[in-house]
Amino acid sequence: MNIIHCTPSHSTQWDDFVMQYEIATFYHRFAWKEINEKCFGHKAFYLAAIEGNQLRGIFPIIFLKSRLFGKILCSMPFMNLGGPCTTDRETEDALLDETRKILEVNKADYLEIRSLSKLNTSLPVAEHKISMTVDLANDPEVIWKAFKSKHRTNIRNAYNQGFTTLTGGEELLDDFYKILAESWRSLGTPLYAKSYFKEITKQLAPTISIFLVLHHDKPVGTAFNGLHRKTVEGLWAGTVAEYRRSDANYVLYWEMIKHYCEAGFGKFHLGRSTVDSGAEAFKKKWLAYGSQLYWQYILGRTREIPRLNVNNPKYQLAIRAWKRLPIELTKRIGPIIAKSIP
């Protein structure tokens, strides 16, 4: 078995593997390699295990370097999932061995592997995140009837308040970005440049779906989703601050669920949530159930699991300061910071 570092010439064979194996996800698509390299300048290691003419496994890894957060290898940064996809344990072990070499050669602090299942090896693991999933039905009425009565009432009330939705692709990108930039600023989180999202829609156009929720024709909320086989991946969503406590999201989420049911999708991943958080509680209203996420680590220069999350007290001062910055300033300096936060 040979472990190779893939180039664009391997993209077709790579994506064929991704489409063939159930464990592979939207985040394993080869396009993410060029997106990360072009938009952020990050080096990408796209490893493949080859035996004869057969591809037996893949492992996408992105290398982030910054003065703020150090040298981090991640599979996959900015996304919910990543990790190796293999046909057997021998292949997984071979790919992990290669990542250890990459870790050492690049003097990285650690490798973070985001996965829905534990790897077949003993690695330090963080289990603070879960993935929330709605099982869709061919007829959205089946899901509607399964909602609690109070939830159905909340949805009806939201429609009565004048909320409507639009769905499309790149043509909605300007409104999407305007809303997300305001939403993330109000949460104290730096956002990527608009060019990042534009490159995603360019590279993955047939599999990108953008929703807007409008209040009397004013865009106030949004969602950016990826489509992979029969699964919808919720990538980013946000609401402008003044509508965060409104019922806008009741219309947005119900319209998305209806749309994807009628389009023949089987599952809708609503993104990751912290256990026992408000986000988890809201998603459960839509019949979403949680699956444990395993963020596993191969440690390099650092000797303990990192704590790059908003609950870390050392980041609270920066978060509070960011919330007070003018929105246009956050759009200019936010991308410089955001590209280094996995």
Contacts of residue 217, Cβ cutoff 8 Å, sequence gap at least 6? 164
Mean pLDDT, the chain cut into blocks of 10 residues (342 residues total): 96 97 95 98 97 94 93 96 94 96 97 91 89 97 98 96 96 98 95 98 96 96 98 96 91 98 98 87 96 95 79 78 94 95 90
Partners of 232 in the beta sheet? 227, 268
CA dist 234 to 44, 155, 162, 223, 229, Å?
Answer: 23, 20, 25, 7, 14
151, 157 Cβ separation under 8 angstroms = no
Q: Rounded distance, CA 65 to CA 68, Å?
A: 9
Count of Cβ atoms closer than 10 Å to residue 161 Cβ: 14
Count of Cβ atoms closer than 10 Å to residue 153 Cβ: 12
pLDDT at 276: 83
Question: For the whole model, what pTM was predicted?
Answer: 0.94
Cα atoms found within 13 Å of the Cα of residue 144, Cβ hemisphere only: 16
Contacts of residue 57, Cβ cutoff 8 Å, sequence gap at least 6? 48, 49, 84, 85, 86, 87, 91, 92, 94, 95
221, 212 Cβ separation under 8 angstroms = yes
CA dist 14 to 6, 132, 188, 301, Å?
Answer: 9, 27, 37, 31
Q: Rounded distance, CA 36 to CA 257, Å?
A: 30
